[in-house]
Chains A and B, each alone.
Chain A
Amino acid sequence: MNHAAMPNRTVLQKLFERPSIHTMAPATKIAVYGILLFWTAFVVFPIYWLLITSFKEAADVNGGPVFLPWIDFEPSLHAWKELFVFDYKDTLKAYVNSIIIALSSTLLSILIGSMAAYALARIEYKPKFGTIVLFVACMVGAVVAIARLGADLWPTLAAALGVFYFLARVLSRHFKLTVGNGDILFWMISQRILAPIVVVVPIYMMFQSVRLLDTHIAIILTYSVVNLPIVVWLMYDFFKSIPIDLEESAQLDGASRLMVFWDIVLPLSKTGLAATTLLVMILAWNEYLLALFLSTSRAQTMPILVAAMNAGERGILWWSMSVVIIVMIIPVVLMAIILQRFIARGLLLGAVKG
């Protein structure tokens, strides 16, 4: 735009005028930066507050707010020392537990979930509707027998499965109605709607009956299932977007499906796998409710440890708690900062197609 052509503009007009189509008017610019900076402050402040609280003495916390280290108060490492030098055992155990559980459950759900997603994207399934109804009926029968007649859990389940297998063999010829891949996919993804609180008590009882309560295995298995829908959903879209020609030619050359999946499909979907892995790992790392039920001491994870610091004889020790929270969030925040583009792309892929 030619400035000389319009000589009689006031300062106010200039403020609301766009110098060119690709830049913003000064007033808009101020507003945009203002909002963005305000939001940055809003996002950063709680983290900053946790960070400085971890360097405060009790007197600094209880005596009213102090904001700036070295100016308002003298930062001290006492809370950090307490955690790392004197009282590291519990925290270290919970930290190691969290790492083991997050990594293994992620690995398991990625493996199982991407296999299922690939199968649903490439292989046609036609399970019969009647068989499914039969299976559900056997399950309900087993549960009713356990609950109302007091039958033992595992023998009853085994018997129910046996009955189902026998009946399915005999009757399956007569079932005509089938369900397709889309239905199976929807069924798997819709499991995410299930609030964990609905299933956690029976899961608790199940693990109790096989004496696996408060072990890593229990939490790992549960987390893998809870996160399975996300993996199936995101990876299904990813596998669908890979051209099928490569797989077909490999199969013509005599490669089995497992080889195709392992050697061709998985390497091609690295970005999708990375995004999904990150997302699932973060969910497992931060999960609270299921761990609360399934772990008491040996398999205690970080969120439980942090939440338990609420109850102390001396009230909440905010400085120690801040240290633990910071130690807990450092790895995921670093991962997020480095890999946030990945996550955004992975999520978008699912959201666009889903």
Chain B
Amino acid sequence: MNFATRFSEWLDRHSGRLFITPAVVMILVFSIFPLVASLIIAFSRIRLRAGSYQVRWVGLRNFEKQIFGSEQFHFLGTFAPISAAGWILAIGATAGILWWLFRYASRRFTIVGFIGRLITAAFGIGLAFLFAATLFSGKPFGTLGVTLFYVFIGCGIQFVIGLGLAFLCTQPVRGRNIFRVVFFVPLMITPIGVGYAFRMIADTTKGPFSPLWQWVGLGEYSWAADAWAARIFIVVGDSWQWIPFIFVVLLAALENVPRDFVEAAEVDGASGWEIFRDVTWPQILPVAATVMLIRVIEAFKIVDLPNIMTSGGPGIATESMTLHSLFAWRALDLGQSAAVAYLLLFVTVVVCVSFFNLVVLGRIRKS
């Protein structure tokens, strides 16, 4: 037997391993190893020396600083004594979440399911108190709140508008194909470009809408100096870019709904809304859940838009957690940077697992 045949036989015998090894090795080297290393960095204080690092173990000190210490205002927000509105929110949310947990526990109880919901509930209550003590008591919240604002408000808006547009494009309108191509385009455009374009457009003195602003009397007003206006503008930019993604996938899903179902319902005299609720929606729900899961995962990583449009300002009002970590890295504070990144990872995992657990698995259980 010559070498070539022996080699090809060896290849064939080990083909199972050969197929999967490159991917596993790549992930181990560039994801898992850095993940562990990053955790070590988050537990250390790192000083840069000439050409090398000096690593000192500080335990949970970095996390402590972000959550309780001098960086608390930056990560969680500035705390104030909880106001009346804050108490209403906190107690209302806590009661609602506890009731939901109780209802689950009394109906159907599995240990794993209960622990998963317990984590979700604890996270939800924690957030309710966080916002009660910052936003509802008149103080700014930190990068955690900003990131959650981008994720929940942004993704919510994007889902509603994306679904609406997809629904309109399934109607018998002329030029449908042109609309769908045009609506798809923003997804392709680099987020950096989106950031600069919206910065120009939102300019109240030189931008395209400045005559309008001046007419309203806001000519001197700068959106970049107002925390909420800046946040909303970033959500607008983000939505401009990402609605196409949701639109395209949901449009394809809507077109996959069998015509017969809809026509049968129409013949039975169901109204448009009833058809959507009882026929179309259950059919597209799996796709909608998956597309939102993907969108939420990507939304947590938002960094380009706030960096370009406002550099995180005014103050820290538009700083996402990735940007927070990036700034800490720029200040050569690697430990803090890694700690913030890990906190981001923790929040992302809790939110995504909760979403998966409640929406995706919930759907499977129902069907």
A348 touches B172 (CB 8 A): no
Counting chain B residues whose Cβ lies within 8 A of the other chain, the interface size class is: 35 or more
B35 touches A194 (CB 8 A): yes
Contact residues in A for B207 (Cβ distance below 8 Å):
65
- B:1-31 near A, CB below 8 Å: 8, 11-12, 15-16, 18-20, 22-24, 26-27, 29-31
B190 touches A203 (CB 8 A): no
B38 touches A50 (CB 8 A): no
Contact residues in A for B180 (Cβ distance below 8 Å):
340
Contact residues in A for B294 (Cβ distance below 8 Å):
351
State the CA gap A143–B95 with chains docked (Å). Answer: 44
State the CA gap A333–B341 with chains docked (Å). Answer: 33
A143 touches B322 (CB 8 A): no
A193 touches B252 (CB 8 A): no
If A119-B20, A195-B322 are given as contacts, then 18 extra A-B residue pairs at C-beta distance below 8 Å, sorted by A number, are A29-B173, A46-B198, A46-B201, A47-B185, A50-B200, A116-B20, A147-B37, A193-B297, A195-B341, A199-B34, A201-B334, A201-B338, A203-B30, A205-B37, A221-B30, A258-B11, A302-B190, A329-B193
A329 touches B188 (CB 8 A): yes
Option from B15, B20, B182, B197 in Cβ contact (under 8 Å) with A258 = B15
Q: A308: nearest residue on chain B (CB-CB)?
A: B192
- Which of A53, A199, A203 has the most B CB atoms < 10 Å from its CB? A199
B30 touches A43 (CB 8 A): no
B249 touches A348 (CB 8 A): yes
Q: List 23 A-B contacts (CB under 8 A).
A: A24-B171, A24-B172, A29-B173, A32-B171, A40-B179, A46-B194, A47-B189, A49-B197, A65-B211, A115-B23, A120-B20, A147-B55, A148-B55, A193-B349, A194-B31, A199-B35, A202-B38, A203-B34, A225-B27, A325-B192, A328-B190, A348-B252, A348-B253
Option from B188, B253, B337 in Cβ contact (under 8 Å) with A333 = B188
Contact residues in B for A192 (Cβ distance below 8 Å):
297
A 108-126 to B, binary, CB cutoff 8 A, 1 in contact else 0: 0000110110111001010
Q: A288: nearest residue on chain B (CB-CB)?
A: B304
Is A107 an interface residue when CB atoms closer than 8 A count as contact?
no
Is A354 an interface residue when CB atoms closer than 8 A count as contact?
yes
A 250-291 to B, binary, CB cutoff 8 A, 1 in contact else 0: 000000111001000000000000000000001001101100
Q: Known interface pairs A257-B12, A351-B287. Does A344 touch B248 (Cβ–Cβ under 8 Å)?
A: yes
B 175-219 to A, binary, CB cutoff 8 A, 1 in contact else 0: 000011111111111111110111011000111111100000000
- Which of B16, B190, B337, B342 has the most A CB atoms < 10 Å from its CB? B190
Contact residues in A for B349 (Cβ distance below 8 Å):
193
- B:296-333 near A, CB below 8 Å: 297, 300-301, 303-304, 307-308, 321-322, 325-326, 329
State the CA gap A40–B168 with chains docked (Å). Answer: 13
Is A182 an interface residue when CB atoms closer than 8 A count as contact?
no
B192 touches A303 (CB 8 A): yes
Option from B15, B198, B325 in Cβ contact (under 8 Å) with A197 = B325
Is A33 an interface residue when CB atoms closer than 8 A count as contact?
yes
Is A96 an interface residue when CB atoms closer than 8 A count as contact?
no
Q: A340: nearest residue on chain B (CB-CB)?
A: B184
State the CA gap A322–B193 with chains docked (Å). Answer: 8
B188 touches A44 (CB 8 A): no
State the CA gap A345–B255 with chains docked (Å). Answer: 11
Q: A60: nearest residue on chain B (CB-CB)?
A: B206
A347 touches B308 (CB 8 A): no
Chain A-chain B contacts (Cβ-Cβ < 8 Å), number: 294
State the CA gap A194–B198 with chains docked (Å). Answer: 28
B303 touches A188 (CB 8 A): no
Q: A63: nearest residue on chain B (CB-CB)?
A: B206
Contact residues in A for B36 (Cβ distance below 8 Å):
139-140, 143
State the CA gap A222–B29 with chains docked (Å). Answer: 10
State the CA gap A148–B37 with chains docked (Å). Answer: 11
Option from B40, B53, B188 in Cβ contact (under 8 Å) with A144 = B40
State the CA gap A281–B217 with chains docked (Å). Answer: 45
Residues of A that sit less than 8 Å from B by CB: 21-24, 29, 32-33, 35-36, 39-40, 42-47, 49-50, 53, 61-65, 67, 112-113, 115-116, 118-120, 123, 125, 136, 139-140, 143-144, 146-148, 150, 184, 188, 191-203, 205-206, 221-222, 224-225, 228, 232, 256-258, 261, 282, 285-286, 288-289, 292, 302-303, 306-307, 310, 318, 321-322, 325, 328-329, 332-333, 335-337, 340, 343-345, 347-348, 350-352, 354
Question: From residue A235, how far is it (CB to closest CB) to chain B in Å?
Answer: 11
Contact residues in B for A292 (Cβ distance below 8 Å):
326
State the CA gap A43–B242 with chains docked (Å). Answer: 11
Is B345 an interface residue when CB atoms closer than 8 A count as contact?
yes
Is B33 an interface residue when CB atoms closer than 8 A count as contact?
yes
State the CA gap A125–B297 with chains docked (Å). Answer: 28
State the CA gap A53–B191 with chains docked (Å). Answer: 18
Contact residues in A for B256 (Cβ distance below 8 Å):
348, 352
Question: From residue B217, how far is it (CB to closest CB) to chain A in Å?
Answer: 17
Is B286 an interface residue when CB atoms closer than 8 A count as contact?
yes
Contact residues in A for B168 (Cβ distance below 8 Å):
32, 35-36
B23 touches A139 (CB 8 A): no
Option from B40, B44, B165, B287 in Cβ contact (under 8 Å) with A39 = B165
- Which of A136, A184, A333 has the most B CB atoms < 10 Å from its CB? A333
B15 touches A113 (CB 8 A): no
Question: From residue B102, how far is it (CB to closest CB) to chain A in Å?
Answer: 30
Is B125 an interface residue when CB atoms closer than 8 A count as contact?
no
State the CA gap A39–B183 with chains docked (Å). Answer: 8
B190 touches A286 (CB 8 A): yes
Is B235 an interface residue when CB atoms closer than 8 A count as contact?
no
Question: From residue A213, how far is it (CB to closest CB) to chain B in Å?
Answer: 13
Is B119 an interface residue when CB atoms closer than 8 A count as contact?
no
B8 touches A289 (CB 8 A): no
Q: B56: nearest residue on chain A (CB-CB)?
A: A148
Contact residues in B for A261 (Cβ distance below 8 Å):
19
Is B222 an interface residue when CB atoms closer than 8 A count as contact?
no
Contact residues in A for B53 (Cβ distance below 8 Å):
205
Q: Known interface pairs A40-B182, A140-B36, A351-B291. Does A197 touch B31 (Cβ–Cβ under 8 Å)?
A: no
B191 touches A286 (CB 8 A): yes
Contact residues in B for A224 (Cβ distance below 8 Å):
26
